[in-house]
């Protein structure tokens, strides 16, 4: 079946530091890959996505590249801000139903 393995948290960084959150996946067929962000007390918001191999998703300074050869979709940001503090979820969808399968989430805290 499908599964997503995400870097364990929590992650604590200083403002303007470089961020990487690792994500690898197992899926049948050709999944789409996503990063969702959850701010305290809120639902999940789509941060970025990629639908095929070598695609790069980007939004708000975050980037992730769909790597089929390593089955990875690592999230990166060159300079984090305090406002980026949240929980980040890697996810995939595949098959005819396109149901989302989530990783366990990574709590990011950015200190001023």
Partner 1 sequence: DAGVIQSPRHEVTEMGQEVTLRCKPISGHNSLFWYRQTMMRGLELLIYFNNNVPIDDSGMPEDRFSAKMPNASFSTLKIQPSEPRDSAVYFCASRTGGDGYTFGSGTRLTVV
**What is the contact surface with partner 1 in residues (CB under 8 A)?**
32, 34, 41-46, 49, 51, 89, 93, 97-105
Q: How far is the CB of 16 from partner 1 (least distance, A)?
A: 30
DSSP codes joined into one string, 46-75: EEEEE-STT-EEEETTEEEE-BTTTTB--E
The length of the chain in residues reads: 112
Q: How far is the CB of 112 from partner 1 (least distance, A)?
A: 27
Six token digits for residue 33: 């890959």
Q: How far is the CB of 15 from partner 1 (least distance, A)?
A: 27
38 vs 72, beta carbon nearer partner 1? 38
70 vs 96, beta carbon nearer partner 1? 96
Place of tokens 């390593």: 70
Q: How far is the CB of 43 from partner 1 (least distance, A)?
A: 4
Within 10 angstroms of residue 45's Cβ, the number of other Cβ atoms is 10
32 vs 64, beta carbon nearer partner 1? 32
Q: What are phi and psi of 98, to 5 degrees?
A: 55, 40
């Amino acid at each position: 079946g499908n599964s997503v393995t995400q870097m364990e948290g929590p992650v604590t960084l200083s403002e303007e530091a470089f961020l990487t959150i690792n994500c690898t996946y197992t899926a049948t067929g050709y999944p789409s890959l996503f990063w969702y962000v959850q701010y305290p007390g809120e639902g999940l918001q789509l941060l970025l996505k990629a639908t095929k191999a070598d695609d790069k998703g980007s939004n708000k300074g975050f980037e992730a590249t769909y790597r089929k050869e390593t089955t990875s979709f690592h999230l990166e940001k060159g300079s984090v801000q305090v406002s980026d503090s949240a929980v980040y979820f890697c996810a995939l969808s595949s098959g005819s139903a396109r149901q989302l399968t989530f990783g366990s989430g990574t709590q990011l805290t950015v200190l001023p």
